[in-house]
Chain A
Amino acid sequence: METSEVLLEVKNLKQYFKMNRHFTVKAVDDVSFKVYKGETFGIVGESGSGKSTTGRSIIKLYEPTSGSVQFEGHELVGKMSKSTSKLLRTKLQMIFQDPMASLNPRKTVMNLIAQGLDIHKLYKTKEEREEMVYEMLETVGLSREHAHRYPHEFSGGQRQRIGIARALIMSPSFVICDEAISALDVSIQAQIVNLLKKLQKERGLTYIFIAHDLSMVRYISNRIAVMHRGKIVEIGLSDDIYSHPVHPYTRALLSAVPHPNPAVEKTRKRQFYDGKDVDYNLGTYHQLSENHSVLATNEELKKWQSEI
């Protein structure tokens, strides 16, 4: 991992939403992490923890309040040059949760998938455009005949494949999957995850995988960040997080996941954490091992480690 090249570096990213004069929501509060080329970086946390906002801020669906996001050495926060903007809009892509809501129902699959190509004028002839879409459809496991249909004619899993095709036709190097499989049935989830893994291998893609399904995140991710109240409370290799969690929030989260095994379920003990007595602003990141660190004060760290 240490020899790998850093593809994306997020430093002290803050995303505040001002609700009124007296109240500001700190959705993402001072978040820093690196994503290496070719890896899958998972972000988990409860709703409202800021995991989706982090993803959206990186791809500039929001204008970050402060901090820095560097993609291949180009700064994305603040005013971007034309070339940086082009880089962001082509090399960074996002796959959304609800494929039905992210596809225009009045457009054919052909036009939906080619939309990015149209905007950036990435083809010379109409035939070339069609050929690119056909090829993409086959890559994601659909067939050419599907190109002239409308989104409502597809099942949920197929729609998500269209969403993936839309992102990948720009030949991105970096894809953010924001709850990309959460809305799908179990058997279809497995199909989509396998597809994402296959595409990653073939095209050397780097993923940020945002989800609340912890077992799927563990399966797909190399490294995982656990977010709570806008902060990353623990970050590490997925085995560090799942086998040796230190932060009580991580432990509470993991202990709440039901296992598909009745024998395990009968004995599972849940851990509780409300975090009322922990002020995340006081903590600093403590390096536990090369890749594993946790947000805590010295006293907290001692206490938590003694609890395990």
Chain B
Amino acid sequence: MENKSEYNNKNEQNKKLLEVNDLRVDFKTHNGVVKAIRGASFELYQGETLAIVGESGSGKSVTTKVLMGILAKNGTITSGEVLYKGTDLCQITNKQFIQFRGKEIAMIFQDPMTSLNPTMTVGKQIREAVMEHTKLNRKAAKQRAIELIELVGIVNPAERYKQYPHQLSGGMRQRIVIAIALACEPKILIADEPTTALDVTIQAQILELIKSLQKQIGLSIIFITHDLGVVANMADRVAVMYAGKIVEYGTVEEIFNAPAHPYTWGLLSSVPDMANKDIDLYSIPGSPPNMLYPPVGDAFALRSEYALNIDFEEEPPMFKISETHYAATWLLDPRAPKVELPLFLRQRLQKEGAVHGN
């Protein structure tokens, strides 16, 4: 409870930095039109970490590509707006986007090896980014690059400046990628599964680095991942995406301790529980829908044992659970039958002593 009120205070102080309203993105493919995002809305506040969770194909990466203005050629934004500092990023040209990309919004990717140039020293790559966005000359930019290498926690920055990506370990490379992203002091950092390719120990280091940088330079972070442990570690707020829509969002405590959407229940339950080994893991039956033919009504209904008749006919609206917690499921409608959390999710929450008063 204490954490929550602390969060609310923080929330009041902070202003909305980025606002996404009813975003829809289609991709034209040989087989037809893939509806990758079907009306996603969320906002990002100053200094917070928003985690977007979902399976592959749920549209989480596409969302971030829209924010960066790097949507693939066959993708079109059919409706919606992305408001940043009064500008709708969906409406501006690629040329105008240059003043936002990198400078205001930067991104780091999953695989640090593929995002670095193997034929160039890492120092030069950072310097390149610095010179692209600032008026610094070569020498000053080099100095700045060395400072950045130091900032991301690498010892001997001047030595490392001269090394090539293949001479560095995976964790070190990801640090360099972060240094490049920070080169022009962005306000928003989008991290697309930045630790998925790393070992747990290295992952822990990188997560700690991102957190400490956030404190130091006041970054706001959009963190894309499917690892719920990482979400619990990093996020202030969580948005759960399924089939191109955000089906639930709330503070991290709300999502983990009082989840409301059957898909969130499924996700939380499929994480192995140490205590009862003999019981099968809960697994969400079936597989995500083919977005060439998005299902009518609630997209998750086909895989949900809690589906109501209306789920197959009409899309559920976002129901408000608390000031910060919303979920799109008909189960929250006052007319819906009362449904309890799945038994073993409830047991686990009780065991962890995490069940909330509400």
Q: Which A residues fall within an 8 A CB radius of B?
A: 46-47, 155-158, 185-191, 193-194, 197-198, 212, 214-216, 218-219, 242, 252-253, 256-266, 268, 270
Q: Which B residues fall within an 8 A CB radius of A?
A: 3, 55-56, 170, 199-204, 207-208, 226-233, 252-253, 256-257, 266-268, 270-274, 277, 280-285, 287-288, 352, 354
The minimal Cβ–Cβ distance linking B47 to chain A, given in whole angstroms, is: 18
- Name the A residues within 8 Å of B229 (CB-CB): 215, 257-260, 265
Contact B271 A185, beta carbon cutoff 8 Å: no
A191–B253 Cα distance when bound, in Å, is 27
- Name the A residues within 8 Å of B271 (CB-CB): 186, 215, 260
Contact B274 A259, beta carbon cutoff 8 Å: no
Q: 4 closest A-B pairs (Cβ-Cβ)? A: A258-B229, A219-B272, A190-B283, A190-B270
A261–B232 Cα distance when bound, in Å, is 6
User: Which residue in A197, A258, A266 is a CB contact (below 8 Å) of B227?
Assistant: A258
- Name the A residues within 8 Å of B268 (CB-CB): 260
The minimal Cβ–Cβ distance linking B352 to chain A, given in whole angstroms, is: 6
Report how many A-B pairs have Cβ atoms within 8 Å.
Answer: 111
- Name the B residues within 8 Å of A194 (CB-CB): 280-281, 283
Contact B256 A187, beta carbon cutoff 8 Å: no
Contact B232 A259, beta carbon cutoff 8 Å: yes
- Name the B residues within 8 Å of A157 (CB-CB): 287
A268–B233 Cα distance when bound, in Å, is 9
Contact B281 A212, beta carbon cutoff 8 Å: no
A191–B273 Cα distance when bound, in Å, is 15
- Name the A residues within 8 Å of B231 (CB-CB): 260
With most chain B CB atoms within 10 A of its CB, the pick from A185, A193, A218 is: A185
A183–B256 Cα distance when bound, in Å, is 24
- Name the A residues within 8 Å of B270 (CB-CB): 186-187, 189-190
A218–B272 Cα distance when bound, in Å, is 9
Contact B201 A260, beta carbon cutoff 8 Å: no
- Name the A residues within 8 Å of B288 (CB-CB): 155
Contact B201 A252, beta carbon cutoff 8 Å: yes
- Name the B residues within 8 Å of A212 (CB-CB): 199-200
Contact flag A185-B226 (CB < 8 Å), given A46-B201, A262-B232: yes
